[in-house]
Structure 1
């Protein structure tokens, strides 16, 4: 707190204990008075309790930035302490040890702890005799009750000799002295000794920051009653900085809509900017001011990057000093720093006023430095801010970074970085990046047009440009996958393989994502073409490949495609495990769910449908992201499962409409056609039209086990059991399928035996199907088999195999005990904020979107999510939504 403006000199001739200071001037009373608190001061019990430890330790340090509320906190504590406190506020006029100790002795006099006559006040402002220090320490050590001394604005004391003298007195005055230092910087005392001995109480910037709840109370004291989300957003922006909150509140009070003002106020204007510019920026030497202004264009920075912007070599020393001085430069760890967000906003506005046009050049320098030593997203961000599109494109191509536009979780969408790029250029790298942007947003036609243009430019250019050609091949493989053209993908992959040996091994080894992308694209296109074994080989190679951050997304894509292969082979448990492995990868790299194409969730929905959990299947489909790309594989899988859910709901017309929906692709997909035809066949059977059901599947059965079972069932319904059994015999000879095929096949055979009156065979086949079905919880084949099965399942021998998973256990209670919670009710009731998060979770919002919508931090949302999961006894967001729907919470 700056009290210089309120100082009043002691009138001439008035008695002053201890006399004048060493310069002969009267002591100023305000230097020794505990500062008053404004009416808007908020007493924070957690900090007062923390500061109460000062009575138990010799040394207390309250260390924080300008305006953090240090002085007011200690002043309020001192005023309520119930005992005298010697208060000394330093200023720039403290000239040497003699002046300091004279003022300290006077502070003791002023609080009623008279200095004995044996201790003479220093007569020389520049020095103090060691005898004075010894006598003072002896005197204080003899007190029955410790004397509390507060020295405010201690950062003004820069003389190491005074620090050594003060530490001497503190050490030898025990237990009679409790010293409290209020400072913007770390005091020069040997703090490590006191920390190790447990003899020091510390309150730092992070402790002084206001919480959202405290900010609400503070704003109310300023006459503002605001919603918690608005206050939370203000705390997030100011990082709980006391002065920022108070100045914002004062400005908002004069606004006709305070809430809107606090959401939209510009930090670069008004009292906050004036405060920070005067208290922080203008106190710095010119070279430090220049550095602060230039690094305001950076989200984070290290000394090397700061030097690149200032074109000097002193950033390391300056940044360390700024951090030590609590000058709104925060240590980000591992040698990186960041500016306080409000301070950064203000500095950026000041930079634009002081040096118009410099900001673009600074972004360009940052992009060039980050290419060598930073991260791709940061390089792209600064390159985009500098609008240096050609440079960015050439970096992406020459450094083989083109693949990371699709695999780096922090890179965002390629189109986001290059949204401002306009006009055509003769540079092939630029056209390759344009192609990547278009393909990333599913515009296949535009993406292919740019690829063709880049290909022509590379062909006409006489120079050898293997990096550009390899980048082209990777994008061409993606285009072929999106187009459903396995041949195009194969040709592009072959071309890439021929180019890779020509690249420097160091460069290629640093980009394992390129091979992962090529294999993923080829595996996906092979899956689309119905070549399951080829697909499994490529996709397994990706899933088992290098476990790096750049290959995380291809590995996850490979796992969900492998899950689809397992599902189509009738192995729901294996499919589910692969999706869970994919989810574990996502959590490992901090990726929000749902992500990507949603194929994994579609597979889980298919598994849920096979288990007759139609509600869960529907919830998973609703929670899956919308079509993010033109990839035909997730589109066809989603179409089949959606139609299956509609069939399970009895909406045959809607199911037929969905099944007839085309999936654009250059090549045919046997399994996509087969799953659509299977839906049509089942719908026709439900309508009592078995002959039409047979025709729907006759042309597509082939090497598709599920379709073969469906066709056999249709033939049986049409009165042709012989053909049905011959189809199933051929299926058994194939020997590839899992329980998802074996169980419905056994049920068709059992129904045929039932029609022949062969009950022994029926029971044998049903027993076999129950064993297989129980392992995978395959309820739907049994429940859709028809009424003929009910009598057999009622028999004791078969019913025993169906207890607990297919038919209710007769010993299990049907209803909960009166007055008790229902079997599915959470143990603890969800809070209102947890319900808010849950509702947005059900709308498939990401964690970041929920945080933005509720005006809270991402970490706050994560905390609420953990609590929701715990209360609902689940571990994933999809399960939380399903559970909440079951409980009627949504």
Structure 2
């Protein structure tokens, strides 16, 4: 059968891969070369392409019969060598027995090869078909004694029975294995192009990921796609079990295995990854370990992941699952159920939940989540969205406390407290019945989950009392929960404190809210609590902003913005409140473009963090921006969501009144503003007092304004955003009563207090009376470079602030920064503005040059620029430096 000696022809769509050909060239310098890969990995065509370009004698022998005895094998091999010029003496040049070969014949062949000046390259294709250990031993003898006269190349699916370790140790082995044979996305795109298919590298990358770069899979997909009216869609969505890929894998891989191994492969196909013990649990066997190791060694599309862990090739797994459904209908859910219970015992919760859901056993699945105290993962962590999606398929007939707790969590995450509390009530009733049983189970984790969800419901409704009750109950329940669970789920404690802190914040109990939120901000837990830390920092920043401390608020909000970046969480993740605070600070600085950009981005916070505080903060920040632009009607309309909560908030009521009073003053209705704000004075000793004093002053009652301001006592809680405004009201009152010296002194004090935080809005709100003071020599220096450009111009604060007038439409403004610069990025850009080199910046900041370059690259991206000068100009436009 001389076809066994022919080098296979390459198809017209064959893709030459130079990286592999170059590697194969090393075979010319080593006695042994092994190309080892799965069926369809492209081994034979690779060798055929390489062999076509080899100069010198080359012999090819396809060993495609599994029952070759030593005599037949060597008869064929010697015949394959003849065209390469290797001949033996007449009469002794071929075995006479099909099952035996004389040792003398092998010795003569080795001697003949050893005398050659130019080595013979011998390619043995499909060598995995040779299973006789005697042949392997004889081949090793000839290879060893042929010396430099023979270069043996084995093309195989399995590890050959040769002492490969000795060749590796001596550097005499060239190896190409499956990982190297896999197509890269670029190679896959080029292969598809040879089939007349144009696919972007990004789409080719997805195809390579699904096929693991398997050559036959890519070629078969390309051939099938040629017949489809939408080839690109086919390549993205093809059903592996309904394609020629399935035919290939079933014939070339599955059916070549014994019935026992076929059953093993079909059963483990329901698993993403597995070890021998789990495979034994699904098959009822006890020997899965060596079987899996053998399948991996034989390149049977079983991938070894290390640490005794395996997975199936993705396409092979898809096809096996389809084959399992056809061969044994109904077995797949049972296997998922077995896997879920085995994994539950082994402590692998994420995989337990996935298999429990696939089995349709929702009582077990929800119970595993609740008993593991993991219900908080529905709200926070890297995989919260995956968990929410998993339980979205929970059947309505699933009963018991755990399913009801999951339903309650799902409804509360959707901000539906009515349905959430109804499910909570049912769960509590079920838990009560369980505790009354003769042999009651441990329900501490479920009860603690109830307390957590009650705190969330209180947060959503702005009810501080129920939130405190839930937190107190949680403290008692923690003593009954195993410490191990509390350590594994730090998000539970963090969520409880976050809900409590937010409810207290809504109620205006700032000191208590600060204590609870600080505990969250300082908690551990890595990615599991990053979202909560970020949100807590944002709310702490809000407290600072409401108390009139814009600098503190900005620093805390910026710290919040970077909290989730470290863990790869998307932005904006939980930074809704932080961005709103930064927007409010930007309005106080009259950086209206930046405020608008921040408010636009802040419209998409994480669903689990939406509550009245966030909604009110957004509404009030938007209203203040409209006020700054002179649009009082839009400002009043924007406050409507702030007062739409179920429970009224004192600070929201006050802030809403301040917006309405400002609208009255802008319309010349001073008395209406006075009347509105008088109602707020019993509840507020800060912003409302200052606003009421300003309204009285506008109504022509300077003495009454001063009397009201005298109620303000310096207690260290009220910051410059309030005190600067109070000082300016006093200054205007002094000016109105004919005391310009006192007015000038008070304006100077206001400028001094506002300078650190760049508070420009108070001076704009003050009105035209302040402008003459800002042009005088003593005050001009205090206002220069942050409030006015300089004394020579005599410019008004509004012109000096760099703000965009309200009449300028948004499309005419520079594009906003949709991602905030980190503190370090601002430091780098600031030094850019000082004309410092990258090396100088690195030295000044005590970091490496590479670190500076990383910060620059990130800052350029966020500022939408590509050059240093543009970054500086852009940062100045936005008031970042």
TM-score range, shorter chain: 0.7 to 0.9
Which position in structure 2 is the counterpart of 1:733? 714
SS at structure 2 position matched to 1:412: helix
Distance in 2, matches of 1:493 and 1:62, equals 64
Distance in 1, matches of 2:471 and 2:478, equals 11
Q: Is the 8 A contact 1:874 1:880 kept in 2?
A: no
Q: Is the 8 A contact 2:114 2:148 kept in 1?
A: yes
Distance in 2, matches of 1:144 and 1:772, equals 94
Does 2:52 correspond to 1:79?
Answer: yes
Which position in structure 1 is the counterpart of 2:573? 595
Further displaced range: 478-487 or 192-201: 192-201
- Superposed displacement of residue 791, structure 1: 5.4
Among 520, 528, 536, which residue is 1:558 paired with? 536
SS at structure 2 position matched to 1:452: helix
Per-residue CA deviations over 1:715-772 (Å, capped at 9, x if unaligned) read: 4444444454555554451211344444544554555555567666666656655565
Does 2:414 correspond to 1:441?
Answer: yes
Does 2:267 correspond to 1:294?
Answer: yes
- Superposed displacement of residue 348, structure 1: 1.1
- Inter-CA distance 117–728: structure 2 relative to 1 (3 Å threshold): farther
Per-residue CA deviations over 1:268-313 (Å, capped at 9, x if unaligned) read: 1131110011111111222221122122222222333222222322
- Superposed displacement of residue 449, structure 1: 0.9
Q: Is the 8 A contact 1:406 1:413 kept in 2?
A: no
Which position in structure 2 is the counterpart of 1:348? 321
Does 2:370 correspond to 1:404?
Answer: no
- Inter-CA distance 605–369: structure 2 relative to 1 (3 Å threshold): farther
Does 2:625 correspond to 1:616?
Answer: no
Does 2:658 correspond to 1:678?
Answer: yes
Among 4, 7, 11, which residue is 1:38 paired with? 11
Which position in structure 2 is the counterpart of 1:26? none
Distance in 2, matches of 1:97 and 1:727, equals 111
Q: Is the 8 A contact 1:414 1:436 kept in 2?
A: no
Distance in 2, matches of 1:117 and 1:725, equals 126
Which position in structure 2 is the counterpart of 1:517? 495
Which position in structure 2 is the counterpart of 1:432? 405
Mapping of 1:549-588 within 5 angstroms? Answer: 549-588=527-566
Structure 2 unaligned spans of 5+: 793-814, 821-849
Distance in 1, matches of 2:591 and 2:348, equals 45
Further displaced range: 790-799 or 72-81: 790-799
Which position in structure 1 is the counterpart of 2:452? 474
Distance in 2, matches of 1:532 and 1:303, equals 56
Does 2:854 correspond to 1:874?
Answer: no
Distance in 2, matches of 1:687 and 1:195, equals 89
Which position in structure 2 is the counterpart of 1:642? 622
- Superposed displacement of residue 220, structure 1: 2.5
Further displaced range: 354-363 or 451-460: 451-460
Q: Is the 8 A contact 1:377 1:410 kept in 2?
A: no
Which position in structure 2 is the counterpart of 1:824? none
Distance in 2, matches of 1:592 and 1:491, equals 34
Further displaced range: 799-808 or 283-292: 799-808
Which position in structure 2 is the counterpart of 1:62? 35
SS at structure 2 position matched to 1:661: helix
SS at structure 2 position matched to 1:224: coil
Which position in structure 1 is the counterpart of 2:429? 456
Q: Is the 8 A contact 2:444 2:477 kept in 1?
A: yes
- Superposed displacement of residue 488, structure 1: 0.7
Does 2:186 correspond to 1:205?
Answer: no
Distance in 1, matches of 2:91 and 2:559, equals 79
Q: Aligned-residue CA RMSD in angstroms? A: 4.0
- Superposed displacement of residue 40, structure 1: 0.9
- Inter-CA distance 877–376: structure 2 relative to 1 (3 Å threshold): farther
Q: Is the 8 A contact 1:53 1:201 kept in 2?
A: yes
Which position in structure 1 is the counterpart of 2:809? none
Which position in structure 1 is the counterpart of 2:635? 655
Mapping of 1:124-135 within 5 angstroms? Answer: none
Q: Is the 8 A contact 1:291 1:306 kept in 2?
A: yes
- Inter-CA distance 268–468: structure 2 relative to 1 (3 Å threshold): same
- Inter-CA distance 71–733: structure 2 relative to 1 (3 Å threshold): same
Does 2:642 correspond to 1:669?
Answer: no
SS at structure 1 position matched to 2:626: helix
- Inter-CA distance 843–608: structure 2 relative to 1 (3 Å threshold): closer
Which position in structure 2 is the counterpart of 1:273? 246
TM-score, reference length from structure 1 = 0.80
Further displaced range: 467-476 or 745-754: 745-754
Q: Is the 8 A contact 2:182 2:214 kept in 1?
A: yes
Structure 1 unaligned spans of 5+: 1-8, 10-28, 812-838, 845-865
Q: Is the 8 A contact 2:349 2:368 kept in 1?
A: no
Distance in 2, matches of 1:758 and 1:171, equals 111
Which position in structure 1 is the counterpart of 2:62? 89
Distance in 2, matches of 1:647 and 1:570, equals 18
SS at structure 2 position matched to 1:365: helix
Distance in 1, matches of 2:414 and 2:183, equals 42
SS at structure 2 position matched to 1:331: strand
Distance in 1, matches of 2:152 and 2:27, equals 8
- Inter-CA distance 432–129: structure 2 relative to 1 (3 Å threshold): same
Per-residue CA deviations over 1:489-532 (Å, capped at 9, x if unaligned) read: 11122222222323344444443332222212111111111111
- Superposed displacement of residue 202, structure 1: 4.0
SS at structure 2 position matched to 1:469: helix
